[in-house]
Amino acid sequence: MDDLQTFLDKAGTDAQILTMDVPMPTAPAAAEALKVPVGCIFKSLLLTGDGKYILLVLSGEKRVDTKKAAELVGASRLKLADKDVVLEQTGYSVGSVPPVGHKSRIPVIVDQSLMDYEFGYGGGGRHECLIKIRPKEIVRLTGATIAAISL
């Protein structure tokens, strides 16, 4: 989380890290803790295929269209990266991966539907933390592509 806060401070963003009293490793758990709809939770999923990595950011109520995401990155097929690869590539464990501030430079795709939100909550670097962030800031800070990648 300290690395994430440092990243946010250097980036000049209004995103904030919120620390809660309970672990929130899933979108429904985070929504329950915050008393917000699960759609306001932004999940960050690392996928891999054909030697490539891609981080997808989408609403907690959506599922990934892996075929469409694979087409966008020129991979024949994508699958969720295993927990060790997620930690190695992002610097964060599964269930706490923020949409920004990763250890490695990873291409990011933000689902088009997130752009309807003024702000939302994503992984905050630890299971008891969330980041409150605007979708447009995710795009700005990561150089993300915006595309329809959810079902």
151: pLDDT strictly greater than 70: yes
Q: Residue 74's pLDDT is what?
A: 92
Task: Report the alpha-carbon distance of residue 21 to residue 147 in Å, rounded.
Answer: 34
The pLDDT tens digits of the residues spanning 72-105 come to 999 999 999 999 999 999 999 999 999 999 999 9
Q: Residue 137's pLDDT is what?
A: 97
Q: Domain containing 18 — which CATH number? A: 3.90.960.10
Q: Residue 1's pLDDT is what?
A: 57
The pLDDT tens digits of the residues spanning 2-48 come to 789 999 999 999 999 999 989 998 999 999 999 999 999 999 999 99
What are residue 80's DSSP bridge partners? Answer: 47
Task: Report the alpha-carbon distance of residue 122 to residue 17 in Å, rounded.
Answer: 9
Q: How far is CA 145 from CA 78, 91, 114, in A?
A: 17, 22, 12
Q: How many domains does the chain have?
A: 1
120: pLDDT strictly greater than 80: yes
The pLDDT tens digits of the residues spanning 40-76 come to 999 999 999 999 999 999 999 999 999 999 999 999 9
Q: How confident is the model at residue 122 (pLDDT cuts 50, 70, 90)?
A: very high
The whole domain housing 132 covers 2-147
CB atoms within 10 A of CB 103: 12
Q: Residue 89's pLDDT is what?
A: 96
pTM: 0.94
Tell which residue, 142, 127, 101, has the closest CA to residue 18.
Answer: 127
